[in-house]
Chains A and B, each alone.
Chain A
Amino acid sequence: MSMRETLALAAALAVGLSLANAADAPRFGQPIAPGDLAPWDISIAPDGVGLPPGSGTPTQGATVYAERGCALCHGEKGAGGPSGPLVGGGPLDRTDRDPVKLIGNYWPYATTIFDFTRRAMPWASPKTLTDNEVYALTAYILALNKIIGENDVMNADTLPKVKMPNRDGFISKYPEKH
């Protein structure tokens, strides 16, 4: 085959392929209804979208904390253990020691506490807490950090409104405005 013929064939193949792509793009996915994927759709946006019904208080959270053995990893009242503390954390601009990034001094959104607790805790049996228990634990941790009051109720309405102390402490490196 001459060079010209080879090129012509390559061009024809390229056209053929692009046509094939447009007309017969592979479609092997199975459509699924939103209700059927709901058990996996656990994302919670910082504005609260995705938060489930239910509620909890710091007092209820203290009970769940004890019942579920949270202190084994996080210490009594979140003071710290093998997995680090849930309370405390000093200023972030200290020059004499490395600041420790904790919930009270660093986390920008309270919804992230609910989200991570629900998906990942307790470590040995994740996804076994009820939504009420997760709200209660979230309330307990926020109260230990003195971000909410001892009797404040956390639910889908109140949790996204909690303003974390370091809410405005982040600067996006990703160039797109969002």
Chain B
Amino acid sequence: MGLRKRRKDARKDGSLSALAPVAGNGLIDRRALLGRGIVFAGAATTGASASLIGAAAEPLANGPWSLGPGVPVPPYGQPSKFEQKVVRTLSNPKLEPRGSAARTPHHLLNGTITPNGLHFVIARGGETEVDPDKHRLVIHGLVKQPMVYTLDALHRYPMVSRISFLECGGNSAPLYSKEPIQGNVQALHGLCSCAEWTGVLLSTLLEEVGVDPKARWFIAEGADLPTMNRSIPLAKAMDDAMIALYQNGEGLNPSNGYPMRLLLPGYEGNMNVKWLRRIKLVEQPVMAINETKQYTILRPDGKAWQFYFPQEVKSFITHPSPGLSMKGPGVYEISGISFSGNGRIAKVEVSADGGKSWARAALQAPVLSKAFTRFRMPWNWDGGPVVLQSRATDEAGNVQPTREAFIAERGPPRGTPNVAAFTMEHCNAITSWGVNASGEVNHVYA
């Protein structure tokens, strides 16, 4: 039966539609997810999936944890000791004199909020320990009255909360290499995370200091080793820039800028200056190292793009992904993360045949602007080799490019570097996972 015919049949007959594919290699209509077991009922009657009705379960017994008290509840809860493998990978664990990267283990998480201890980090001088009582934020330059703010003072302003992703400009750079680098989703895409941030809008403070009409940019600078600095258009300050004080309800994690950081929703991670201590309003960009040498994108003609701010529309599949092997043919949920620095995710499509056919995935509500949106796609794997891909489109109509289209624009990669090398920034090409007949998942180019 042809795909089109099967899709038509699936629409006509709800009960039979359950496992009827809507795209190649067994992708099932996303609405099956809403049917509360319709997939499983269908599978049971058709016998389509061995994984659904396994061997009989063992008799049930009480575990020791049911036969006595536990341990005292700790003042600050830690993850279960059985979750010890759910950690970041570190590029510089001994703090040698260079930057440090910590990558989020997306394959071991679900939902859309990254726990604070697993949020990705790039730090030039290690984790900076700032005494909140001694920390100051100064706003000066092209203003009517330069002002200094203590943390206590900032707590007296009206606060706002928003859920926002952050992504390093160098995230997903391994996709820009000649051969597919064998790494898991943490290695390839671990430099993005999503949290609820709470703080004071920068525009609130700028109203107080009074903006000189000549100001067009502001310089944001941290209190860390290199006093990391970036130039940011003033328009972003007036739009949605925030002095964030809380991360997922608690004070910022030290690695993420405690006691305060700049949050520029949707903009390149490096611009979201951590341990923020100074904002200077200026007419022109300051041409800092991180906006000239770093975070500029060299084109094939030898020219480089500068001030490439929004992180563009992206998605990747976290389940399954390298390291998460398939356990035999049957029904699975493909799921992953999508986001766009230009607004909300409009749709995510999934392909199980390397991009020949696509089906729309279900988007987990709420779908928020400039935040992680999880997508889910039911899939009946027949046990054969397949290539899984996801393709996101944002509300502005931007579509995640194929790797081929991305390479056509940026020029061909000339080598296959180390997985941690940032050979290309703002890389949002489609990721392909190859699933082989034994259920193993690998990074492939398709």
Cβ-defined contact, B226 with A43, below 8 A:
no
Among A52-60, A100-108, A132-140, A142-150, the stretch that binds chain B is: A100-108
Cβ-defined contact, A116 with B301, below 8 A:
no
Taking the closest CB of chain A, its distance from the CB of B92, in whole angstroms, is: 11
Within 8 A of A (CB), among B160-209: 204-205, 207-209
Cβ-defined contact, B285 with A178, below 8 A:
yes
Cβ-defined contact, A41 with B415, below 8 A:
no
Contact A26-B156, Cβ < 8 Å, known A44-B286, A101-B293, A126-B226: yes
A16 in the interface (beta carbon within 8 A): no
B145 in the interface (beta carbon within 8 A): yes
B50 in the interface (beta carbon within 8 A): no
Contact of A108 among B146, B149, B287, B412 (CB under 8 A): B287
Q: How many residues of B are counted as interface, with CB atoms below 8 angstroms from the partner's CB atoms?
A: 65
Contact of B138 among A27, A37, A127 (CB under 8 A): A37
Within 8 A of B (CB), among A104-156: 106-109, 111-112, 115-116, 119-120, 123-124, 126-127
A23 in the interface (beta carbon within 8 A): no
A32 in the interface (beta carbon within 8 A): yes
* Interface residues of A, dominant DSSP: loop
CA A72 to CA B97, docked complex, whole Å: 10
Please, which residues of chain A bring their CB within 8 A of the CB of B124?
120
Within 8 A of B (CB), among A28-54: 28-34, 37, 40-47
CA A94 to CA B299, docked complex, whole Å: 11
Closest to A31 in B: B145
A173 in the interface (beta carbon within 8 A): yes
Q: How many residues of A are counted as interface, with CB atoms below 8 angstroms from the partner's CB atoms?
A: 56
CA A103 to CA B146, docked complex, whole Å: 35
* Interface residues of B, dominant DSSP: loop
Cβ-defined contact, B225 with A93, below 8 A:
no
Please, which residues of chain B bring their CB within 8 A of the CB of A43?
219, 221, 229, 280, 282, 286
CA A95 to CA B301, docked complex, whole Å: 10
Cβ-defined contact, B233 with A174, below 8 A:
yes
CA A36 to CA B210, docked complex, whole Å: 19
Among B16-24, B305-313, B323-331, B395-403, the stretch that binds chain A is: B305-313
Please, which residues of chain B bring their CB within 8 A of the CB of A170?
292, 296, 303-306
Taking the closest CB of chain A, its distance from the CB of B392, in whole angstroms, is: 21
Please, which residues of chain B bring their CB within 8 A of the CB of A4?
none
A176 in the interface (beta carbon within 8 A): yes
Taking the closest CB of chain B, its distance from the CB of A56, in whole angstroms, is: 20
CA A126 to CA B415, docked complex, whole Å: 35
CA A94 to CA B415, docked complex, whole Å: 12
Closest to B424 in A: A98
**Residues on A facing B (Cβ under 8 Å):** 25-34, 37, 40-47, 72-73, 82-83, 91-99, 101, 103, 106-109, 111-112, 115-116, 119-120, 123-124, 126-127, 169-174, 176, 178
- 12 of the cross-chain contacts (CB-CB < 8 Å) are A30-B147, A31-B148, A32-B140, A40-B277, A41-B140, A43-B282, A46-B286, A106-B293, A107-B293, A115-B289, A120-B225, A127-B227
**Residues on B facing A (Cβ under 8 Å):** 96-98, 124-125, 138-140, 145-150, 153-154, 156-158, 204-205, 207-209, 216-217, 219, 221, 225-227, 229, 233, 235, 277-278, 280, 282, 284-289, 292-293, 296, 298, 300-309, 411-415, 417, 423
Q: When A and B form their complex, which 7 residue pairs have the shortest distance between CB atoms, in order from nearest?
A: A29-B147, A93-B302, A120-B226, A174-B307, A92-B302, A28-B153, A123-B97
